[in-house]
Structure 1
Amino acid sequence: MLKGQWEIEFTKDGRVFDEDQVNAFLQDLPGATDLLVLSHGWNNDRNEATALYDELLGSLEKVGLPDSGRGSGIAVMRVLWPSKKFTLKSLIPGGGAASATSQSDAALIEALEDLKQDPFRLGETRQDPTRAALVNRALELVPKLESSLQARREYVLQIRALLDPGFVSEDDASREFFEVDPGKVFAAFSQPVAVLPMAGGGGAAGMSSGGAAFLGDLVDGAKAGARRLANYATYYSMKARASVVGAAGVASVLSQVRRESPNLPMHLVGHSFGGRLVTAAATTFPERDTRVSLVLLQAAFSHNGLAAKYDRKHDGAFRTVLSDVRVNGPVVITHTKNDQAVGVAYPLASRIARDRSSALGDQNDPYGGMGRNGAQHTPEVDRSESVLRKAGVGVSYAFKAGKVFNLLADKTISNHGDVRNMSVATALRDVVCLP
C-alpha cells in the first residue's frame, strides 16, 4: 500500500522551493518500507504533472501491492520542476505530411517565442530579458533565411547564445552543435528527418525495399531548419535543467533521506526528461549503497547514456551509475517505436554529427533516444525480460538486481505520455517488490 505522498518543488537552478515540504516529508518517512521517487518530464504545468502521478500511482494500487514486507508501505516523493514541453505539431508539422510547410512556418514562430520563457518554477511563463533580446534578433532574421547565408549563420549564433555550453556531451552531438561552423549546422538542420517506425528498421534500405512506411519531420528548407534549431535549443535547455535539478536538488533531498533512514530502499522513476533527472541524481549516490532501483519510462536522453565505450572511446554520460554500482537494484527501461516525440527529437542530433547514418532514430543511429531503443552498448543488459507485457492475472517479471532490462512496449505504450497504465504499473510493482 501507499504509506503517504509528498510533493517537493524545485526551482530551475535545482534549489528546494519550500524547505517546509522537505521537513514534513522527512518527519513522516519513518515506518516506510520503500521510497518511490517520481519525476515528470516535459510537462509545462502542475496539473499535467499531478495527473501523471495520480494515474500511475492509481494503476500501481490496482495491480496490487503486498500486505507485508517490501512494497507494503511505500512513501512517494513527487518531484515538481520547471520543465517545458515539446509538442508533436512542432516536431512533426502536419503529422508528417511533406506538404505541411505552412504549419512548419507557424511552428517556427511558436518555438522561438517559447524560447523567451525561462520559468523559475513549474507552470510559470516568466520571460528573461536577455533571452528575449536574443530571440527577438533571431525572429528578425527569419524573413532573410531563405536568401542570405549570413542571416542563417547569425541565426545559429543567436540560438547558441541562449544555451550553456557547459552541458555538452559526446552521446548527443551537442559538442558538434557548438563547435561546427554555423553555416554547416544550419544546412544540416534544413534537411528532412525521416524516422522508421519499426524498432530495428533498416534505414534507407528498409524504405526502398518493399516501400516500408516511415514518419518524421519531412519539411525541408531554411525555415524548417530554423524551427528544428529552435526545438534543439529547447531540448538542450531541458537536458541541462534536468541534470541540475537531479544532481543538485533531488540528490540533496535524498542524501537527507539516507542519513535519516540508511536502510530504506529507493526506487527512482522518471518519465521523459524526468528519466534524465533521476539518473543524474543517481550519479551522486555512494557506491554499493542500500538498494537503489531505476525505472526509465520513455526516457528522453541518449540510448548510449549508460553505455560502456559505445564508440570505442567514450562512455555514456551516466555510465558511472552502473560501473560504480551507484544503482544496485534492477534498471528497467521502456522503449517503443510509438514514441514519436523521442523518435523524432533525437535524430535531430544526427543532422550535425560526424556520422550521417541513414537509420535515423533506431538502434543503429549513434544518436538515438533511450525511449525509442532502450539502453545500447550496455553490458549489463539482461534479455531474460525484454517485453512490457499487457497487465493481467499472473503477469509478473523476474527482474534481477544489478541488471538492465530493456522492455519493448510497442503493444503496451501507444505514445510518449502513455506511461501511467497498468502494464507499466505491473513492471514497477515487481521492481519495488524484488527481494
Structure 2
Amino acid sequence: MITGQFEIEFTKDGLVHDDNQVVRLLDGLADSTDLLVLAHGWNNDKAEATTLYDTLITSLEVVGLPENGSGSRMAVMRVLWPSKRFALESLIPGGGAASATAANDAALLAALTQLEQDPVLLGADGSDPTRGNIVERARAQIEDLDTSADARREFVLQIRTLLDPSQAHEDDASREFLDLDPEKLFQKFTGEVPVLLSTGPGGAAGNTGGGAAFLGDLLSGAKAAARRIANFATYYTMKTRAGAVGQTGVAGVLGRLREKHSQIPIHLTGHSFGGRLVTATAAALPPSDAPLSLILLQAAFSHNGLAQRFDGQHDGAFRTVLGERRVNGPVVITHTKNDLAVGVAYPLASRIARDNAAALGDQNDPYGGMGRNGAQHTPELDRTEPLLRKVTPPHQYTFTHSKVFNLQADATITDHGDVANPAVAQALRDAIRLR
C-alpha cells in the first residue's frame, strides 16, 4: 500500500523551495518500508507532472504491490523541478518532410523562445531580461545566416553564452559543441539527420511493411542548422539543470533522510531528463549499505552515461554510480525505437563529433540516447531480463543487485511519454521488492 505521497519542489539551481515539504516527508516515513522517488522529465506545468505520477501510482496498485516485506508500505516523494519543453515538432518540423521550410522557420523561433525562458520553479514565468537580450542578438542574425559567416559566428557565440561550460562531457559531444569553430559547427549541422527507427517484424511506426525505416530531421541549410544548434543548447540547459537538482537538491534531501531513517530502501525513478536527475542524485550520494535502486524510464541522456571507457579512454559522466557502487540494488532501464524524442535528439551529437554519421542513433552510434538503446559499454549489464514484458500473462522479473537490466520495450512503450502503463509498473514493482 501507499503510506503517503509528498511533493517537494526545487528551484532551477537545485534548492528546496519550501523546507516544510521536506519536514513533512521526514516525519511521514515512520510507518513506511520503502521510499519511491519520482522525477518527471520535460514539462511546462505541474499538471503534466501530477498526471504522470498519479497514473504510475495507479498502475502500481493495479499490478499489485507486495502484501508484506519490501515495498508493502511505500511512501512516495514526488519531485517537481523547472524543466523545459523539448517538443518533437522542433526536432522534426513538418513531420520530417524535406520541403517543410516554413515549419523549420517556426521551429527555429520556438527553440529560441525556449532558450529565452528560464523559470525558477516549474510552471512559473521564466522571463529573464539578460537571457532575452542574448537570444535577441542571436535572433537578429537569422535572415543573414545563408549568406554571412559573421552572422553564423555571432549566432553560435550568443547561444554559447547561455550555457555552463563546466557541464560539458565527451559522452554526448557537448564539449565539442562548445569548442568547435562556429563555422565548422554550422557545417556539421547543415545536412539532414536521418534516424533508423525500427527493424524486424512490424517495422517502425507508419512502416507497415516491416524492416528498417528512416525518419528524422530531413531539412538542410543554414536555418535548419541554426534550429539544431538551438535544440542542442536546450538539451544542454536541461542536462545542466537536471544535474543541479539531482546532485544538490534531491541528494541533499535524501542525505537528511538517511540521518533519520538510515536503512530505509530508496528507489530512484526518473523519466526523460528526470532519468538524468535521479542518476545525478545517485552519483552524489556516498557509497552505503543502505538499499538504493535506480529505474530509468526513457531516460534522456547518453547511452554511455554509465559506461566504462566507452571510447577506449573516457568513462561516462555517471560511471561512479556503478564503479563505486553508489547504487547497490538493480539498475533497470527501459528503451525503445518508438521513442522519437530521444531517438532524434541524440543523433545531433553525432553530427557534432563525427565526420560520417550514417545510421544515426542506434546502439552502434557513439552518441545514442539511453531511452533508445539502453546502457552501452557497461560491464555490469545482465542479459537475463532483456524485455519489458506485457502484464498478460503476468511476469515476475529476476532482477539482481548491482546489475544493469536493459528492458527493450518496443512492444510495451509506444512513445516517449508512455512510461506510466502497467507494463512499466510491473518492472518497477519487481525492482522495489528485491532486497
Give the alignment's TM-score, normalised by structure 2: 0.96
Q: Tell me the secondary structure at the aligned position of residue 352 of structure 1.
A: helix
**Number of residue equivalences:** 426
Post-superposition offset of 1:194: 0.5
Q: Tell me the secondary structure at the aligned position of residue 29 of structure 1.
A: coil
Letter in 2 for 1:110: A
Aligned partner of 2:295 in structure 1 is 295
Q: 1:154-178 CA deviation, whole Å, 9 max, x = no partner? A: 1111111111111000100011011
Check conservation: 1:388, 1:424, Cα contact below 8 A.
Answer: yes
Aligned partner of 2:306 in structure 1 is 306
Distance in 1 of aligned mates of 2:392 and 2:304: 32
Q: Alignment RMSD, CA only?
A: 1.3
Check conservation: 2:333, 2:405, Cα contact below 8 A.
Answer: yes
- Give yes or no for the alignment of 1:84 onto 2:84: yes
Distance in 2 of aligned mates of 1:420 and 1:153: 43
Distance in 2 of aligned mates of 1:11 and 1:186: 33
Aligned partner of 2:414 in structure 1 is 414
Give the alignment's TM-score, normalised by structure 1: 0.96
Q: Which structure 2 residues correspond to residues 197-212 of structure 1 after superposition, within 5 A?
A: 197-198=197-198, 212=212
Letter in 2 for 1:306: L
Distance in 2 of aligned mates of 1:310 and 1:199: 25
Relative distance call for 1:199 and 1:371 in structure 2 (3 A) is farther
Q: Which structure 2 residues correspond to residues 122-201 of structure 1 after superposition, within 5 A?
A: 122-198=122-198
Letter in 2 for 1:419: V
Q: Tell me the secondary structure at the aligned position of residue 124 of structure 1.
A: coil
Aligned partner of 1:113 in structure 2 is 113
Relative distance call for 1:256 and 1:301 in structure 2 (3 A) is same
Post-superposition offset of 1:275: 0.3
Letter in 1 for 2:305: G
Aligned partner of 2:259 in structure 1 is 259
Letter in 1 for 2:34: D
Aligned partner of 2:433 in structure 1 is 433
Relative distance call for 1:211 and 1:391 in structure 2 (3 A) is closer
Aligned partner of 1:100 in structure 2 is 100
Distance in 1 of aligned mates of 2:411 and 2:175: 36
Check conservation: 2:185, 2:352, Cα contact below 8 A.
Answer: yes
Q: Tell me the secondary structure at the aligned position of residue 31 of structure 2.
A: coil
Q: Which runs of 4+ in 1 moved over 2 A?
A: 210-213, 354-357
Distance in 2 of aligned mates of 1:285 and 1:112: 35
Structure 2, unmatched stretches of 5+, are 201-209
Matched residues, percent identical? 65
Distance in 1 of aligned mates of 2:425 and 2:199: 23
Aligned partner of 1:207 in structure 2 is none
Q: Tell me the secondary structure at the aligned position of residue 294 of structure 2.
A: strand
- Give yes or no for the alignment of 1:6 onto 2:9: no
Post-superposition offset of 1:198: 2.1
Post-superposition offset of 1:125: 2.6
Q: Which structure 2 residues correspond to residues 48-59 of structure 1 after superposition, within 5 A?
A: 48-59=48-59
Q: 1:19-71 CA deviation, whole Å, 9 max, x = no partner? A: 00001111111121000000001111100000000000100001001221111
Post-superposition offset of 1:83: 0.2
Q: Tell me the secondary structure at the aligned position of residue 405 of structure 1.
A: strand
Letter in 2 for 1:312: G
Q: 1:217-257 CA deviation, whole Å, 9 max, x = no partner? A: 11111111111111111100000000000000000000011
